[in-house]
């Protein structure tokens, strides 16, 4: 029921993943970044780290293109676990609590969804009660290249309503990077002690692993990185900041290519056609969910906003970006439907990816020749 907001469980459910029970090989592709690979995951394999038990295990990671650093993969897993949110989930997000028990080696993270927002979109219980989407205690062993966590609310049910949460230990997951050759091992244990290693669990959890592999490969190719820091736009606030852009590109070209990447995102909205009502604006509406994705931009001012609206034109949330000229720095922040501003790590991940894809496009042959992909259909052309 939370899928319209981008949520998906890491554990198999009757509704997720859809029609994928027969999948045995996952294709990991990096569009616009160069390269692709085929990684196979195996069910019911004898565990190396827990003798006598079964696990799921990947094929060798040593010959992938682009290359995959074992440490880079584990870092991607940890980065996600420190802020376990899906893209677009800000619409109903209330709070993320992060507590370090022993530095970065032992931490706890809890994701809380806003009950009033869930009710507003027909996904709540009707009484405004909040929902704990995820609550995990994570422990890291860098020497053993191992990350383990316990869930205090179940993944298959998208968490629990706050008045149903007990805080008792639930499922346990251990992800280990094996050597010679490098392989990913996943040992999963349910609340009652049963080990999960079958085909259904393999298919569901492999989707999570695939995303982390792609993130690690992309990060290895990144030209710039994003961080959360003091806003350049609003005193006392925080923003996502991407610096050093002028080492690779000029102001006009970066804005054009970033806008091109944003347009591609809007073009990917299901069951929708892009409309450009006026210069500096385009949008697309998903005819099933009735959610409108609206982009407004001003290249001279270096401003771009990406807003989502429901069927009654109520703002669900908006990402705002500002491109500063001297030095060339990209700044981004998010404002939810309640008007609250934030700049969290999941936004940093998204902006970092978009900035690097923009730079990759600019460094392509067309970019080197100064030929830019048209970003927006002109109003005259659209009318014709």
Q: In terms of residue numbers, what domain contains 252?
A: 226-383
Query: Domain check: are 97 and 161 in the same one?
Result: yes
Query: Domain check: are 270 and 310 in the same one?
Result: yes
Which helix (H) or strand (E) segment is 134 a member of?
strand 131-141
Query: Domain check: are 233 and 160 in the same one?
Result: no
Q: Residue 178: inside a domain, yes or no?
A: yes
pLDDT (tens place) for every residue of the chain, 384 residues total: 344 444 454 444 333 333 333 223 333 333 334 444 578 999 999 999 999 999 999 999 998 888 899 999 999 999 999 988 876 677 888 999 999 998 889 999 999 999 998 888 788 999 999 999 999 999 999 888 999 999 999 987 889 999 999 999 999 999 999 999 999 999 999 999 999 999 999 999 999 999 999 989 988 889 999 999 999 989 999 999 999 999 999 999 999 999 999 999 999 888 888 999 999 999 999 888 888 999 999 999 999 999 999 888 889 899 999 999 999 999 999 999 889 999 988 899 899 999 999 998 888 845 445 554 444 433 333 333
Query: DSSP state, 246?
Result: G
Q: Residue 8: inside a domain, yes or no?
A: no
Q: What span, in angstroms and rounded, lies between the C-alpha atoms of 7 and 170?
A: 20
CATH for 191: 3.30.530
Residue 77: half-sphere exposure toward Cβ, Cα within 13 Å:
29
Q: Residue 277: inside a domain, yes or no?
A: yes
Q: Which two tokens stand for residue 355?
A: 């900035």
Query: 5 Cβ partners below 8 Å, 6+ apart?
Result: 86, 88, 89, 91, 92, 121, 123
Query: Domain check: are 262 and 298 in the same one?
Result: yes
334 close to 343: Cβ distance less than 8 angstroms:
yes
Terminus-to-terminus CA distance in the chain, angstroms? 41
85 close to 346: Cβ distance less than 8 angstroms:
yes
Instruction: Tell me the backbone φ, ψ of residue 131, rounded to 5 degrees.
Output: -130, 130
Closest CA to 6 of 85, 100, 88: 88
Query: DSSP state, 371?
Result: -
Query: Domain check: are 363 and 301 in the same one?
Result: yes
Query: Domain check: are 294 and 173 in the same one?
Result: no
Query: 31 Cβ partners below 8 Å, 6+ apart?
Result: none
Q: What span, in angstroms and rounded, lies between the C-alpha atoms of 98 and 108?
A: 6
Which of 176, 202, 221 lies at the terminal end of a domain, its last residue?
221
Query: Domain check: are 232 and 216 in the same one?
Result: no
Which of 204, 221, 238 lies at the terminal end of a domain, its last residue?
221
Closest CA to 239 of 335, 303, 308, 307: 335
Number of domains in the chain: 2
Q: Could you give the C-alpha distances from 150 to 109, 115, 141, 305, in angstroms and in order?
A: 11, 25, 15, 38
């Amino acid at each position: 029921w939370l899928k319209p907001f981008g949520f998906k469980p890491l554990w198999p459910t009757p509704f997720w993943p859809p029609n994928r029970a027969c999948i045995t090989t996952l294709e990991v592709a990096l569009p616009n970044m160069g390269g692709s690979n085929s990684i196979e995951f195996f069910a019911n394999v004898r565990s190396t780290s827990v003798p006598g038990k079964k696990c799921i295990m990947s094929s060798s990671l040593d010959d992938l293109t682009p290359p995959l650093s074992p440490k880079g993969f584990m870092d991607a897993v940890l980065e996600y676990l420190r802020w376990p949110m899906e893209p677009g989930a800000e619409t109903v997000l209330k709070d993320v609590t992060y507590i370090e028990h022993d530095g970065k080696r032992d931490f706890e993270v809890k994701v809380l969804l806003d009950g009033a927002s869930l009710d507003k979109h027909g996904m709540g219980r009707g009484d405004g009660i909040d929902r704990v989407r995820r609550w995990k205690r994570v422990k890291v062993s860098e020497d053993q290249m191992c990350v383990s966590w316990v869930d205090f609310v179940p993944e298959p049910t998208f968490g629990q309503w706050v008045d149903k949460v007990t805080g008792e230990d639930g499922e346990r997951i251990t992800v280990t990077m094996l050597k010679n050759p490098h392989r990913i091992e996943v040992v999963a244990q349910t609340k009652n002690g049963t080990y999960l290693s079958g085909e259904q669990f393999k298919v569901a959890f492999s989707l999570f692993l695939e995303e982390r592999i792609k993130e690690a490969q992309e990060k290895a190719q990144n030209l710039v990185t994003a961080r959360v820091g003091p806003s350049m736009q609003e005193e006392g606030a925080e923003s996502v900041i991407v610096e050093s852009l002028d080492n690779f590109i000029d102001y006009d070209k970066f804005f054009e290519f970033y806008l091109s990447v944003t347009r591609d995102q809007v073009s990917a909205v299901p069951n929708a056609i892009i409309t450009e009502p006026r210069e500096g604006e385009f949008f697309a509406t998903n005819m099933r969910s009735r959610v409108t994705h609206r982009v407004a931009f001003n290249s001279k001012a270096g401003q771009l906003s990406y807003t989502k609206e429901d069927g009654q034109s109520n703002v669900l949330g908006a990402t705002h970006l500002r491109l500063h000229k001297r030095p060339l720095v990209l700044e981004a922040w998010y404002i939810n439907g309640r008007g609250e501003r934030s700049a969290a790590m999941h936004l940093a991940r998204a902006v970092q990816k978009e900035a690097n894809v923009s730079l990759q496009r600019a460094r392509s042959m067309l970019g080197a020749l100064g030929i830019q992909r048209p970003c927006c259909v002109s109003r005259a052309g659209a009318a014709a």
